[in-house]
Chain A
């Protein structure tokens, strides 16, 4: 009895979770006329690739948005993973004064609202001529991703035994070499996971791109799509086709990496 109820509940959850996806995908294959049919059709009766995917790829700036998203997210992810790995190494290996306080600050910085930081960034980037550039956006995104990357990588480096890099130091390696030759190869999976999360964090952002870019050619997918929806008449098949394409990379990457993320955020609090 209880088992049946559990299954019934899970199936209901499944429907709730999946229906919006189906609605998005079905709409992306509809013609413009069918999307506005009364009463609405659930699945496309005359499925077409052209009206949704064809038009959004050829008539709008969407390919450019996608490229921008890739460049900016990848840049921010690489930068914050490299810097985060070195910072994480420092947190993990050195006992210095104020270490705990610094870790506290690092964690607390994740609590800062974006609207607090984005204003000063706007002013600073404008002053040094990086407003509306890839470099400016990548730097700004790093603010979003770096605390998280450093924290996650510290966790991964903690799993590498001290003795290994100490042995390397005794053999005459410098600190940096010890890190590069001994620790780095061992945390490669962790680095990849961190890289992908930073990438996804940047990919999903709207606020920062909205505030730090001015031209359409610098917009990312989230900004481009959100502009399409505020237009007078929304062409839903195109918008949904764009959404499907923009949602594709994060959906796949998250599903691959779900376990790492929970561990990173709960800071090993799972296992007592």
Chain B
């Protein structure tokens, strides 16, 4: 029982504080009562709306790529191939690196003069002059998304692979007997049986991607010109750079509410079987 209290203490207390803080100053003496002013300010703030947009761009881009890429690799690994263990380990490798380090390595790969990305494109005669991947406001988000896809897809792949391996082999044998083509097999056996795992992977991935901070921070710090300033980066800046505690809290509370709405189906799915 004391453990539950600690559990609630370390999580519940700061959450309550953050929520309270979003309605008015609580850390200074002479509390001025609750107000919705900070939320009203959010809705008028173009910088906030920009970060919402960027968050959707980043999360949408990375989650979609994680899913497509993760499913493709999981299918390939689930087929009858030699050296499966070797390929599997290799496929997981990027995910084992802390996202900060992944960001650093990719920032260096994207270096306009000395980076390997421009060098490869140059050798293939695809570009005439060095591309400023992380300094160009139009290119920076796709570049960051690519870096994050590299690091993030193996997790989705692992979950889907576990799902694929749990599909009974007899289903495929029966389909073979009935003369089903591989494409029919995929749409009528693989996908329906994988639905649950796809849902779990998608929800967890959306939540984690929306919270992503380290990778973007070391690659761009939200720049250039706020082109990669997703919500977590903006909230951090508001709190720790500009010390707008109440405003930053309002922002984070809103973000938490959004994530809880996304995450609820996952929680329900798991709790139902406890």
Is B a genuine binding partner of A? yes
- Using CB atoms and an 8 Å cutoff, list the residues of chain A in contact with chain B: 2-3, 6-7, 9-10, 13-14, 16-21, 23-24, 27, 35-40, 42, 83, 86-87, 90, 100, 102-104, 106-124, 139, 142-143, 146-147, 150, 203-207, 210-211, 222, 225-226, 229-230, 236, 239-240, 243, 246-247, 250-251, 253-255, 258, 261-263, 265-272
> How near does chain B come to A138, taking the closest CB pair, in angstroms?
11
Chain B residues whose C-beta falls within 8 Å of the C-beta of A211 in the assembled complex: 236, 239-240
Q: Evaluate contact between B109 and A20: CB separation under 8 angstroms.
A: yes
- Give the docked Cα–Cα distance between A31 and B11 (Å): 47
- Across the interface, name the chain B residue whose C-beta is closest to A244: B101
CB distance from B98 to the nearest CB of A (A): 3
Most chain B CB atoms below 10 A, which of A120, A261, A267, A268: A120
Q: Name the B residues within 8 Å of A270 (CB-CB).
A: 162-163, 165-166, 197
Shortest CB–CB separation between residue A140 and chain B, in angstroms?
8
Q: Complex: how many Å from CA A261 to CA B245?
A: 36
Residue contact A207 to B267, C-beta cutoff 8 Å: no
- With A124-B17, A204-B214, A270-B166 in contact, do A23 and B105 touch (Cβ < 8 Å)? yes
Known: A20-B102, A113-B231, A120-B17. 12 other contacts (CB 8 A): A20-B150, A107-B270, A111-B256, A115-B211, A115-B232, A116-B249, A120-B14, A243-B101, A255-B96, A261-B158, A265-B159, A269-B270
Give 5 closest A-B pairs by Cβ, nearest first.
A204-B98, A254-B96, A206-B214, A111-B263, A116-B252
Interface residue? B122 (CB, 8 A): yes
Number of interface residues of B (CB under 8 A): 95
Chain B nearest CB from A115 CB (Å) reads: 4
A-contact 0/1 string along B78-110, CB 8 Å cutoff: 011100000101111111111111101111110
Q: Give which listed residue, B76, B116, B232, contacts A9 with CB less than 8 A.
A: B76
A6 touches B10 (CB 8 A): no
Of the candidates B150, B182, B256, which one forms a contact with A116 in the assembled complex, judged by CB atoms under 8 Å apart? B256
A222 near B214 with CB under 8 A, answer: yes
Q: Mark B227-251, 1 if CB is under 8 A from A, else 0.
A: 0000110011001100001001101
Instruction: Determine which of A16, A120, A262, A271 lies in contact with B18 in the assembled complex, contact meaning CB atoms within 8 Å.
Output: A120
Contact of B232 among A21, A114, A269 (CB under 8 A): A114
Q: Which of B210, B218, B262 contacts A226 (CB 8 A)?
A: B218
The answer to whether A121 and B79 touch (CB under 8 A), given A13-B91, A111-B259, is no
27 pairs, A vs B, C-beta closer than 8 Å: A7-B81, A21-B93, A23-B108, A37-B114, A39-B122, A83-B3, A103-B274, A108-B264, A110-B207, A111-B207, A112-B259, A115-B211, A115-B255, A116-B256, A120-B18, A146-B11, A225-B101, A225-B218, A226-B104, A247-B97, A251-B93, A251-B96, A254-B96, A258-B92, A267-B273, A269-B196, A269-B197
**Contact flags B59-84 to A (C-beta < 8 A → 1, else 0):** 00000000000001100110111000
Contact of B252 among A9, A106, A113, A225 (CB under 8 A): A113
Q: How far is the CB of A32 from chain B (nearest CB, A)?
A: 11
